[in-house]
Structure 1
């Protein structure tokens, strides 16, 4: 039997969402599970364009098997007009076979995002990313207010999931509260996945 892992799946053309993914992975590992970082390729406007099967840098591209075999999922995207980025939506649109077989039903999932402006659609992006996960029957995990960083943050952070205010140039680093909330989501997903795997009795 393979080792259970939490899939941290994200799209990022810049470093902010990738930085969040790495902190979520740390939280997963701190709670005792493996974290598997994966990304998705950009969508081309040229219908004949092809990209290398392996990206030049960063996490490898996700496969449907990565998603099928995970014990839980953290899904992340920068905001695009209050919604997830097209490459992530394109990947999710290709998961019909997993939906038909119920491969993701009952697995925990959470979402995270990064925006250029402080009020640039963080909450609507997080909520939009939950919709396909609910259709897959996943168990959505947000962040409870027992996480004190939610009350103290002046950057990113919502009860729907971790968020980050990257600034207009995309270069603002994660602050302490944002980092704490990313790790908290990772820990939460790992713990829920472990509890779901425990024998019922």
Structure 2
């Protein structure tokens, strides 16, 4: 089990234990995560649900056989992975906002995998704004060999190409995410965090 999974599981498990303890109330949940009200708590809870679900998507992606998948399935896998990482980025930023974690967030905010997502699975037909707007096309055959690559033939520079090993992008993302989730775990558990994972 990855450190990401361990942190998410530990916090979700403890939240569940508090929520199902008949001697405890909502204020105990808020106190556990260090927030004052239901609004902040629900942002945190929903973010952890999202992290848990998107971790499952990443595991499924890693276990897929790209050589045997048809192109439709490959597009679903790649679009799904890229969007799962974007959703993890957003959930992590929400957690940091609600918990007051401000240091070390640049790798999350500027993650390459999210840039690839924005180019290939979110804003492909309309990347950028105004006169600098351009489109991207994802190279379908590259997906078979674990690559995410494509180009824009109408970029202001004339031709823009993006390419990367999808697993390297994912590994880089997981390293950045792990560091921030450790900070979140330390924020919630304090000195007891290392014993939790």
TM-score (norm 2): 0.30
Query: Relative contact order (C-alpha < 8 Å, sep 6+): which is higher?
Result: 1
The structure with the largest helix share of the pair is: 2
TM-score (norm 1): 0.30
The structure with the largest strand share of the pair is: 1
Q: Highest Rg: 1 or 2?
A: 2
